[in-house]
Structure 1
Amino acid sequence: MIRVLIVDDDKLVRKGIASSMPWAAFGMEIVGEANNGENALKFMEANAVDLLMTDLSMPVMSGIELMRIVREQYPHVQIVVLSLHQDFEYVQEALRLGAIDYIAKIQLEQEQFEEVLGRVVKLMGRKEGAKSAAVQSEPDPLGGAELFVYYSLNPSLDETQAELGVPERAAEAEPGIWYAAAGPAGSNASPQPSLAAVRFRGLTGLDRKSVLQLIRAYGKKDLFYDYRPEAAYAEVDAAECAARDKAGGAAPIEELKEKWAAADWIYEDQAFRTQLEELKVLRMPPVRLVRIFYSLTDEWNRLYQAILDHPIAMEDFFPSWHRFCEWLLEVRERISRAGAKPLFSPEIQNSIVKAMNLVQQRIHEPVSSAEIAQMVNMSGSYFSQCFKQYVGQTYTDYVRDIRMERAKELLRSTNKTIQWVAEQIGYTDEKYFSRLFREHTGILPSEFRQQ
């Protein structure tokens, strides 16, 4: 008999399905019911189930989440979705997670119950036959000492296994991740540009669930740093990977931002290499890395707006550390090219850019030209001369302009008083600030805010 578990948060629906459909005629029996995914998993821990019929929208744990866990922990259980949702995306997600059939509840009023159950039994037979053939031809690779795993570097592109170049024998762990006992054909065969291959070693003693957790966790963070486009595959030791995850700590975010906001990495090769290496050693999650550099991109655009012809833009997605470094190098070259002036030595150019950086960072302080000159190791008069020729305006005009632009941002984005805005950009006198602002924009700060 095929043992069936019905999962739906509506008790009347569960009872109606259990009592109305001719289960016995198709070799089936109802062995249990559950009102959400969590209770379904508890039932499955203590009872054998062959077929799971589940709704998608349920409290506590949704049907989609239930399907993901069942697929991992009970791969032999087959799944039929019974739901009110007829949206294409829901259907696609359910089928991608291994559902053999998707039945809208409204269909139960239009079709004969015998037709529904007959189709389910037929689909179960086909899938069981495919599973049996696979088992006979090749053992489950998750039980071996090593494993080759294939990762889509950009899962959002929704490329198929064949389009990515994943071997046909590879099984899917989840969307965008496949595994197999053998690696790419030929020891020097590099995978497709949008695919990464990884050889995991030292898996002896790990059960199926632990192996799947390992390869998923690796794909979320470490793959980003380990991927090399020129290599056929990366080598990963399971024990080292687990130890590295435990050793991870919090990244010094403010310290990082301060270093990358400074100009040293732009004009000094060694500083650039050192900061890159320090950043990579942290191995922070790619999402956090991207978030930090999004804010730094805004900072660079503020710092170098006087010399850039158009703002620096950050890419929406970085598939790997390799591509991130390429983008960072492009940004570095663009800023240095924009600031290159044949009349000045590299040392003078570096000092002027550092001065621009310091002004931005100390925008709330009344820092004079002489003080900034001293900070960048230049005499006051020579600094003023070089600054005007390099930037295209005097130090005083430059400071006033960036302060007014910052004031505009604060007036747009906050409801703080005009006095507070003035203090944030280095002015203690509200009336003096308002007069300067009107000279710069033609209107008072209060009028600007109203507009």
Structure 2
Amino acid sequence: MKKRVLIVEDDKFFRFAIKKFVDWESHGFEIAGEAVHGAAALEFVESQPVEVVVTDMSMPVMNGIELTAMLREKHPDILIIALSAYDDFEFVKESLKLGASDYILKQDIEKEDIGEIISSSWNKHMAGLAKEGWLQEEILKFLKGGKLEERAGRFLDLSLDGSRGGCLFAVRNLDQEWKGSFGSKNCWLEESLLELHEKEWNILLVPAKAEHSIKKQIEYRYSLCARIESLLKGEDYLAGCSSLCTETAQLPESYAQARKAAVTGSFLQRTKVLSWDDIKDGYEGRTLDYMEKEESYKDICSLETALKALGGLTEKMRDLMPDEEHQQRNCLLLLNAAARNLNYPISNLEFARMKEHMAEMVRLDDLVRLTGEYLEQIFNKSRNGLLHSSVAAGIQFMRQNYGRDICLHEIAEHAALNESYFSNLFNKETGQSITEYLNKIRIEKAKELIARTNLKNYEIAERVGIMNASYFSTIFKKETGLTVQEYRQRLPKNLE
């Protein structure tokens, strides 16, 4: 869609010169009309759409300063370019204060690339509009299925431009300390025109390049995927990219595509920006309501067999990709079956807490890890009897605070016991010291970070609450039987 330009100039010669010496079409503009003074220009923009007004400063009836003020008040989305001679440059300064974006000297019309100047001003103008809160709210509503407001629709039509289009990226970072904004991490993607935030998600609208062939457009999208991967290196995230979108009406579907592509990363065990074009066939073949049969778990009688069953369930869910509800239901079914086989009664409160905690898991791997922890708890409790409530409280505190330096005093205080008594009780109930138990939690968390991020060893150590990298390496080797490097090498390679 070409941007429509209104020329406002009382001098017939300069109106002709502006039309003749500026290559409007090559820059994506077209002349919508002419006006000889500001009042006529206002009548024109009231009757038909105009994106750019190039206006002289000294005119009869209504001058350029007055016109600029009126346009900024009534039509704030219009780009205003001041047109001036040297002798009225004070008018230009006033016009810029009132809202004009740039200026052109009449003496330079034949010398300068005026089209390039206006095109550059247009891009800055659109970038400024893209940051306005009302526009972001309207577009977000539209992406989620709402009606598109007219001004927001015009912005999107001009941004996409049917001759080139664009694509949407949806990024969800799973680090709780990450606040959901590229800007807060200094990761703004220069190519993006618009950045939106929807709860934990970032949405980026990136226009394609008009000069690109279809092949180049595809290559460009993949290069943007690589850019985002680089910007989020070391983070734990899900991200997806839509197919090329050429019409505003297609954007809600593009948003759905980007979200679906990102969710697929939950099943593929990799931190990568996935393109909808690459995964759509597999995604559309998902078995959303897949449920394992309960009788499959009748032979579970040990933690080993339970974890093996969990592994088999995980592989099936990776293949069939059920929705989040059925992922959680499958894991709860396994937990119930294991508890029943052990004659261990899961209380309604305990089951509700499990369900609530599972609902917080975004990635399949996290859900599976949590299920494994619950299985371990069930087998420990069935073997040793129910854990003392103070010990359970201490374990919960450690799982919630393992990422910082915590001491026995804090844990015991949370459990409402003195340190000595709590330490002896904990050892009796679990068969481990508090330090041993905390180290196991930290190393399990470290293994997850190693598998999902590119963080260095000392960064992982700090994330799990161990400030000494050497001590971390020692504990890791003790708990896993492998060095960190050996553990990395044994991880399955990302699918390409």
TM-score normalised to the size of structure 2? 0.35
Give TM-score, length-normalised by structure 1.
0.38
